[in-house]
Amino acid sequence: MTMTNTAPASPAHDDRRAKRNVAVLVAAQAILGAQMPLIFTVGGLAGLMIAPSPALATIPISLIVFGSMTTAPWLSALMQRFGRRLGFVVGAMGGALGAGVSAWGLWIDSFALFLIGSYLTGIYMSAQGFYRFAATDTASEAFRPKAISYVMAGGLLSALVGPQLVKLSVDATVIPFVGSYAFVVVINLVGAWLFAFLDVPKPAAPKPGDAKGRSRAELLRDPRIAVAVICGMVSYALMNLMMTSTPLAVVGCGFTTGNAADVVSAHVIAMYAPSFVTGHLIARFGAMRIVALGLALLAAAGVVALSGVALTQFFISLILLGVGWNFGFIGATAMLTQAHAPEERGRVQGMNDFLVFGCVTFASLSSGLMMSFGDDVQTGWTAVNLAMLPFLILAGAALIWLALRPKDALAA
């Protein structure tokens, strides 16, 4: 398929091409995205197996998120200059390389090598984060929230496939978890071919006199962008905080690795299943109200988790966590896409994902440390859930502050 450098002629044409691109990105989210629930299920357990200290068990997952944070700015700049297709292929190759190095680290019992592989996996995670933005590149303003939502809905299949691959692969080799990472290599090498069908125009080369857009500092002073970034950071970081420690908490409370995989599977389904309606809800009620609902559901997840450690409570809290993330993160993304000019796209999106995954990295690191608090797993699990409160207050206050600002001030 030939990519053109010209913009679509009309809004109707925009949405025809946008819907075709959304179909490709949904498939990518479903197939390539299956590696993320798989890795987040086994990463902490594999780390616990070879880490020099149990407190370092979640460091591999933290390195994935840190890799995503540090690669987002240059990957966004790469796509701004050369197009989405190249950026997404680079992401898939990074995922394949990272999984291969991680498998090698497990095979030779090298925690340091396992960490290097985890960081390289972050290149894929960063690329996947841009799928939602790519869905809006050729979409009309009315279709953008739905395009974001549909692409996120593609994660529903990955939520079903990923944890089942854990069960099939965890003991497929003499050394546990090596087979899981081998599956990830195959997923990336096969899934990369999907982007041959992506038809997003390459950005036009800048010309003298073209608008360059605002600086990063100016963008962050825009109330709409600042609040969207804060809500995105809090939604994603708190989801990661709980999800990273969940397999350790489930297994530590006497349940099996299979039980942990089922809980994570239910959580990831809850993350993506609402996406079939989230875009419609945003179009009807506004992004800010949907973000507020998402934050309320994240708070409810923490309350349920604090109520006990029965398997049912793990399931309910992680399902609420998934739905809360969906509404909070997709709503924040929709707010962001409405607050910047086309020439600011690469700068805004790279900056946003750098900040979001920076907070997610901090949350992931904190998760492992908190789980080592006290004399038992339950004490650590309690610490993880109590830590959510101040960040929910921050995001909620920012959202209220934005809602109370005069509309003419926001327009200015």
Within a domain: residue 106?
Answer: yes
Within a domain: residue 5?
Answer: no
Structural domain including 323 reads 12-201+213-405
Residues 6+ away with beta carbon under 8 Å from 179: 168, 169, 170, 171, 172, 173
Residues 6+ away with beta carbon under 8 Å from 218: none
**Distance separating alpha carbons of residues 241 and 255, to the nearest angstrom:** 20
Within a domain: residue 361?
Answer: yes
**Distance separating alpha carbons of residues 97 and 375, to the nearest angstrom:** 38
Which residue in 76, 91, 60 sits closest to 188, CA to CA? 91
Distance, C-alpha 263 to centroid of its chain: 18
Residue indicated by tokens 């998402």 = 294
Determine contact, residues 229/402, Cβ cutoff 8 Å: no
How confident is the model over 34-45, as pLDDT tens digits? Answer: 888 888 878 878
Output the domain CATH number for residue 31. 1.20.1250.20
Q: Quote the tokens at residue 202.
A: 């390459």
Within a domain: residue 7?
Answer: no
Residues 6+ away with beta carbon under 8 Å from 381: 245, 249, 253, 305, 309, 371
Phi, psi of 175 (to 5 degrees): -95, 120
Q: Quote the tokens at residue 337.
A: 């896409």
Within a domain: residue 1?
Answer: no
- Give the number of domains in the chain: 1
Within a domain: residue 283?
Answer: yes
Distance, C-alpha 277 to centroid of its chain: 19
Within a domain: residue 391?
Answer: yes
Q: CA Rg, the chain, in Å?
A: 20
- Write down the pLDDT at residue 12: 46
How many CB atoms lie under 10 A from the CB of residue 55?
14
Q: What amino acid is encoded at 378 in this protein?
A: Q
Which residue in 279, 199, 203, 276 sits closest to 20, CA to CA? 199
Residue 178 sits at the vertex; the CA angle it makes with 194 and 384, to the nearest 5 degrees, is 90
**Distance separating alpha carbons of residues 81 and 62, to the nearest angstrom:** 29
pLDDT by position in tens, the chain (length 412) = 334 444 444 444 457 888 899 999 999 998 899 888 888 878 878 888 888 887 777 788 888 988 988 898 889 888 888 889 999 999 999 999 999 999 999 999 899 999 999 999 999 999 998 898 888 888 888 888 888 888 888 878 877 777 777 777 767 677 888 888 998 999 999 999 999 999 888 766 666 655 667 777 888 888 999 999 999 999 999 998 998 888 888 988 888 878 887 888 788 789 888 888 888 899 889 999 999 999 999 999 999 999 998 999 999 999 999 999 999 998 998 898 888 777 777 788 778 888 888 888 788 778 777 887 777 888 889 999 999 999 999 999 999 999 998 765 555 5
Within a domain: residue 6?
Answer: no
Residue indicated by tokens 């796209």 = 345
**Distance separating alpha carbons of residues 68 and 86, to the nearest angstrom:** 17
pTM reported for the whole predicted model: 0.73
How confident is the model over 312-340, as pLDDT tens digits? Answer: 999 999 999 999 999 999 899 889 888 87
How confident is the model over 365-375, as pLDDT tens digits? Answer: 787 778 877 77
Cα 20 to Cα 73, 82, 188, 200: the distances in Å are 27, 20, 22, 10
**Distance separating alpha carbons of residues 288 and 249, to the nearest angstrom:** 33
